[in-house]
Amino acid sequence: MWRAYIGVIQKEFRQGLRDRNTLRMLFFMPVIQLLLLGYAIQTDVKHLWLDVYDTDRSELSRKLVASLKAGDYFDVTDMETSGDNAPLWRLDQRFKEGKAEMALVIPEDFARKLETNQPVTVGWIADGTDANAARTGIGYAGQILRQFSSSVIGRQPNVQIRSEFLYNPEAESRFFMVPGIVATLLTMLTLMMTSMSIVRERELGTLEQVLVTPINSVTLLFGKLTTFTIMAMMIMGIALNLGILWFHVPFVGSWAFLIAVSLLYLLTTLGIGMFVSTITSTQQQAMFYAWFFSIFTMLTSGYFTPVANMPIWLQRVTLVNPMRYYIEIIRGIMMKGSGVWDLHLDIMALAIFGVVIFSFSALRFHKRTT
Amino acid sequence: MKKIRFIAQKELYHILRDMRSLIIIFVMPVMMTCLYGYAINMDIEHISLAVIDQDQTVQSRALIERFYRSNYFFPPKYPVNYHDPDQLMRASNAAAVLTIQPGFERAVQTQQAFELGLTIDGSEVSQAAAVQAYASGLLNEYLQDRLPPGTTLPGVRLAQQVLYNEDLESAHFFVPGIVSIILLMVSALLTSITIAREKDTGTLEQLLTAPVSPGQILIGKLLPYIGIAFIDGLLVLGFAKILFSVPFVGSFWLLMAVELIYVATALSIGILVSTMVPTQQLAMQFALLLTMLPSVMLSGFIFAVKNMPVFLQGVSRIVPATYFLKVVRGIMLKGSGFAVLAPQAGFLLILMMIFLLMAVRRFRARIG
Amino acid sequence: MNGNAVEISGLTRKFGDFTAVDHLTLSVARGEIFGFLGANGAGKTTAIRMLCGLLLPTSGQGSVDGHDILKESEKIKKTIGYMSQKFALYRDLTARENLDFYGHLYNLGNSTLKARINELAEQLSLTPFIDRLAGALPMGWRQRLALGVSIIHRPSIVFLDEPTAGVDPVFRRTFWGLLYEMAEQGTTIFVTTHYMDEAEYCGRISIMHNGQLIELGTPHDLVAKYGAKNLEDMFIDLIRPAGASNEEN
């Protein structure tokens, strides 16, 4: 059986290396996806377009506007207004045209009230379309205004917060995303490769030819899966190294640990790939299912969205999503240097899923081919 | 004309008999709406916050309660006692730790300077700066509460107001975007598959031996898909309303008109893809790659375009979904009218013409 | 081992209500070239697949090379070769790589395999094409490659399902020359074909119709029995009256 096993691996690699599409997929997809997503994904709310209607135009109001301009939270546009109240229709229109996301209205008596130690209220209007940006913008505004207030009055509130960021001191959202991207790549590619490869053999009739030989389906299966595992590891290597070298994503923990866990995770994805191959009859169908599974897994894994933000029923669904645990583990290893004990719950979950899904799919495959 | 109608009919039969097409048309839009609508939520809320309270006084507990009462923070699932924020974060799986050192209550009562510690796990929290802002806001609220009622401190106050989507529902932001994604998927994906399929099975050749022109074949094939795209659009809009209560403030017909342009663009892209690729299977892969990926990532659907590197912003300009997204959101959430949205529609129109021309030219070349 | 190469009795296979193979009984001696004929959809492919261990019979028994097809299918696989209608080859592998792969599956050692591939290439006149992609080979050569794949392990019995479909007459003739050589060396050949002129090359032939065996004998005897001019006419006369109503389209 050993010879048969080696034979299968040799064949799969020969085919794979010759197939331009597979090559494209194996090398370019990780690169492109990583670059694209690494650059495109910016979840920090920054550069909000802020229209300022300053009806006071005093030194103090200019100072306030300046403090809003400082830093990259807001991109400020000074709306020229004269004496009377800012025409609200213009504000609305700017919102509709998408030219402004926030607006600040400073009343005429701004400086006067401040100088005479009276409280003064400014109006802050947010476009609620992007709810997150609106909320965050209001939060930022509050913070900046409080600081401005304190500096003008010359008095700080006595209690302050000192913040510290661990494991991502620059708070780069990219670092947060790259591990997730790696996990997604691994998932999508192994799912597709596995399911399509098996289905293709069935379509061409070569599966039949192979089954006529003394090989048993287990050896055949393992041969194929070994090949895909090796390819998947290569892809992961490329993607991770790209992330580390190009984007300077930190890698604090142990490579060996990461590889071991990834192999464990592959049990799941390869298993699902096998399963898909038993329920489809054409390659297109296989690819379609694989793609759909990947998207579903990705969206419910906590990669894009924190699990805590999802509706309760969806949160429960994520509990049975192996990718969710894998991403936790990758993030932990890469950014925090977490060890086996820190992540033992996630590892156990991954192991259980892996073994169950893999065994189930392998049995199904075996039944279907004999 | 008649010939076109017959080709369109045949196409319709193909579609109705192919299980895969049916799934793409009816099941996928619904599933994706649900999936994207429920699963994507970028709001910074529900951050698990562990607290090290070394003061243990009435005031410190009041502060903690103020934090937990907000939507932003909630207690971690596994309460653990550690004195080191780092360890505490790891052990309790919290994303942030608030440290209240002894003397908090005294400082509050005597107006002495005091510092609270907030440690944020930068690897868990995707929007760390915002978390900081919210914490500062909550602290401020707490301090304000402590003032005797009716006290007005000097200083600047903020009166906030939200226009459009006043309840700040995250779903209202994403779900309209789903319309653009689904329309694109259905149009581009299906057309690329259908043309590739004819090439695969050799029936395209057969068709061409009949007295039909390539143009007629093209139009005949596309007609059913335009209809399907619109049906799907309505399906998604319906679900948006039913499941997520997304408002529809503006003009329905304006949306339909722009949708027509958008669908035509998507169809052209689909045709273009099918001429570039030899097999059905590849057609699907390419279609997905060239349409879905940029539309989801670069159109402003989830991630803000203006924060991306300039190169990607440029790419975003040639993604049709970018413009359509603005139109959909504008009409549904803001009630924007034609005057305001004309530039977007205009860009879309230009894109449509470019893609259409390219598609027609390549189609003719491929066949003739 | 002595005894017949293939011995089947009452072999039946049903798919739901449809009986594809109905109580098939026949035996094939060692070294025989046996032609397994029948119209499209008559059940030939199903029968062969049962003999190769690709399908389990619904009822009936059989033995291939002395091994029971129900209980000893592993042993059977080691001694038989199979060439499917589709010439199941990996188009994106070269001829040599195809042979190499299947050689591995049949557990041939490295040096043995290398030698065997060269030997087969000679025998089948594939040498000039041996390093060309299988998908790029013209029909006739692909056919030979498929044959090579099925005999790489020197099986004692070879099952060939429509091996010459779509191949030009010159190639067909030389292909049968190869089969004759193999038979002379003791290999049993079990072949299905549509071409009646090929049927004449066989030692004995059987005719299946609607899953049942309706004739068995040497070509010469059968032609005489039905007073036909040749096998083709005999075949048509035999099939047509019964077949007109339930020919599979």
| pLDDT digits 0-9 by tens, B288-322 | 777 778 888 889 888 888 888 888 899 899 999 99
Strand locations in chain B, DSSP E?
Answer: 47-53, 73-74, 96-100, 114-121, 155-163
- The helix-helix angle for A255-279 and A344-369 (nearest 10°) equals 30
Pick from B302, B227, B253, B327: which is nearest to B9 by CA?
B227
Report residue C110 CA to chain centroid gap: 28
Q: Which residues of chain C neighbour A214 with C-beta distances below 8 Å?
A: 74, 77-78, 105-107
pLDDT of residue A81: 60
When CB atoms are compared, the residue of A44, A129, A311 closest to B173 is A129
| pLDDT value, residue A256 | 92
Contact of chains B and C by CB distance (3 or more pairs under 8 angstroms): no
Best B124, B280, B340 member to test A by mutation, with max A CBs in 10 Å, is B124
Instruction: Check if A7 contacts C (Cβ < 8 Å).
Output: yes
Which percentage of chain A shows pLDDT scores above 70? 93
What band does A83 get if pLDDT is binned at 50, 70 and 90?
very low
Distance between start and end Cα atoms, chain B:
21
How is residue B212 annotated by DSSP? -
Other C-beta atoms lying within 10 Å of the C-beta of residue C221: 13
Distance between B132 CA and the closest CA of chain A, angstroms: 7
For residue A298, pLDDT beyond 50: yes
C241: left (phi > 0), else alpha (psi -120 to 50), else beta?
A: alpha
Within 13 A of B54's CA, how many CA atoms are on the CB side? 14
Nearest to C149 by CA among C189, C76, C97, C202: C97
Which residue ranges in chain B fall short of pLDDT 70? 124-126, 150-152, 196, 199-202, 204-205, 207-208, 278-282, 367-368
Residue A138 contacts B, CB cutoff 8 Å: yes
Q: Which amino acid is at B4?
A: I
**pLDDT at residue C1, rounded to an integer:** 45
Which residues does A4 contact at the CB level (< 8 Å), separation at least 6?
Answer: A213, A214, A215, A219, A220, A223, C104, C105, C107
CA-based nearest residue to A303, from A190, A187, A194, A193: A187
Beta-carbon contacts of residue B278 (< 8 Å; ≥ 6 apart): B196, B199
Q: Which residues, given as ranges, of chain C have pLDDT below 70?
A: 1-2, 241-249
Rg of chain C's alpha carbons, rounded to an integer?
18
From chain A, the residues in CB contact with B166 under 8 A are 128
Phi, psi values for residue C189, rounded to 5°: -115, 125
Backbone torsions φ then ψ of C236, nearest 5 degrees: -60, -45
Reading phi first (left if > 0) and then psi (alpha if -120 to 50, else beta), residue A171 is in: left
Predicted pLDDT at A33: 75
pLDDT, average across residues A152-166: 78
State which H helix or E strand residue B352 sits in: helix B338-367
Residues of A in contact with C80 (CB under 8 A): 212
Q: Is A222 on the interface with B (CB under 8 A)?
A: no
Contacts of A145 in chain B (CB under 8 A): 156-158
**C158 and A CB contact within 8 Å:** no
Pairing of strands A119-127, C188-192: unpaired
Q: Could you tell me the pLDDT band of residue A225, with boundaries at 50, 70 and 90?
A: very high
CB B82 within 8 A of CB B52: yes
Sheet holding B114-121, edge to edge: A159-166, B114-121, B96-100, B47-53, B73-74
Cβ distance A40 to B302 under 8 Å? no
Name the CA dihedral angle for A177, A181, A182, A184, rounded to a multiple of 10 degrees.
140
Is A201 within 8 Å of A283 (Cβ atoms)?
no
pLDDT tens track for B139-151? 988 888 887 776 6
What residue of A is the nearest CA neighbor of C73?
A214
| Chain C stretch 228-247, residues whose beta carbon is closer than 8 A to a beta carbon of chain A | none
Tokens coding A132: 């997150």
Nearest to B11 by CA among B184, B263, B190: B190
Residue B278 sits at φ, ψ, to 5 deg, of -80, -30
Q: Are A47 and A75 in contact (CB under 8 A)?
A: yes
Question: Are A3 and C92 a contacting pair at CB < 8 A?
Answer: no
* CA nearest neighbour of B347 among B306, B316, B307, B312: B316
In this complex, the residue of B107, B120, B140 whose CB is nearest that of residue A158 is B107
Q: How far from the centroid of its chain's Cα atoms is residue A271's Cα? A: 23
Q: A3 vs C86: CB contact, 8 Å cut-off? A: no
Using CB atoms, pick whichever of B36, B86, B298 lies closest to residue A166: B86
Residue-level pLDDT at A226 = 92
Quick check: A36 and A179 in contact, CB under 8 A?
A: no
- How far apart are alpha carbons B63 and C227 in whole angstroms? 108
DSSP-derived letter for residue C40 is: T
Q: Which residue of A has its CA nearest to C150?
A: A209
The confidence score (pLDDT) of residue B368 equals: 58
Supply the pLDDT for residue B199. Answer: 67
Name which of A31, A292, A342 is nearest B93 in CA terms: A342
Quote the mean pLDDT of chain A. 84
Write down the pLDDT at residue C2.
Answer: 57
Residue C80 bridge partners (DSSP): C157
Q: Could you tell me if B301 and A129 are in contact, meaning their C-beta atoms sit under 8 angstroms apart?
A: no
Return the pLDDT at B42: 74
Q: Across the A/C interface, how many CB contacts are shorter than 8 Å?
A: 72
C140-to-B79, C66, C134, C164, C166 alpha-carbon distances in Å: 75, 34, 11, 9, 9
Contact criterion met (CB below 8 Å) for B128 and B118: no
Helix, strand and coil in chain B, % to nearest 5? 70, 10, 25
Looking at chain A, which subunits does it touch, using at least 3 CB pairs closer than 8 Å as the criterion?
B, C
Q: How far is CA B61 from CA B66, B105, B166, in A?
A: 8, 10, 32
User: Looking at per-residue confidence, does B146 or A191 come out higher?
Assistant: A191
In Å, what is the CA distance from B89 to each residue of A225, A304, B261?
38, 22, 52
Category of B112 on φ-ψ map: left (φ > 0), alpha (ψ -120 to 50) or beta: beta
Q: How close, in Å, is residue C55 to chain A by CA atoms?
A: 8
Do residues C241 and C73 touch, judged by C-beta distance below 8 A? no
Structure confidence at residue C244 (pLDDT): 47
Beta bridge mates, B98: B51, B118
Alpha helices in chain C (DSSP H): 44-51, 73-79, 95-105, 110-123, 139-151, 169-184, 196-199, 219-226, 231-246
Closest partner CB to B137 (pick from A142, A170, A335): A142
User: Rounded distance, CA C49 to CA C46, Å?
Assistant: 5
Confidence (pLDDT) at A258: 92
* Token pair belonging to B85: 């924020």
CA distances in angstroms from B141 to A67, A142, A146, C40, listed in the order given: 22, 11, 11, 85
Q: Report the mean per-residue pLDDT for chain C.
A: 86
Name residue, tokens 């050689």: C103
Domains, chain C, ranges and CATH?
6-206+214-239 (3.40.50.300)
Please list the residues that pair with A48 across neighbouring strands: A74
Chosen for mutation from B123, B244, B282, B332 (greatest number of chain A CBs closer than 10 Å) is B123
Neighbouring chains of C at 3+ CB pairs under 8 Å are A
pTM more than 0.90: no
Q: How far apart are CA A247 and CA A245, in angstroms?
A: 6
Looking at CA atoms only, how far is residue C201 from chain A in angstroms? 26
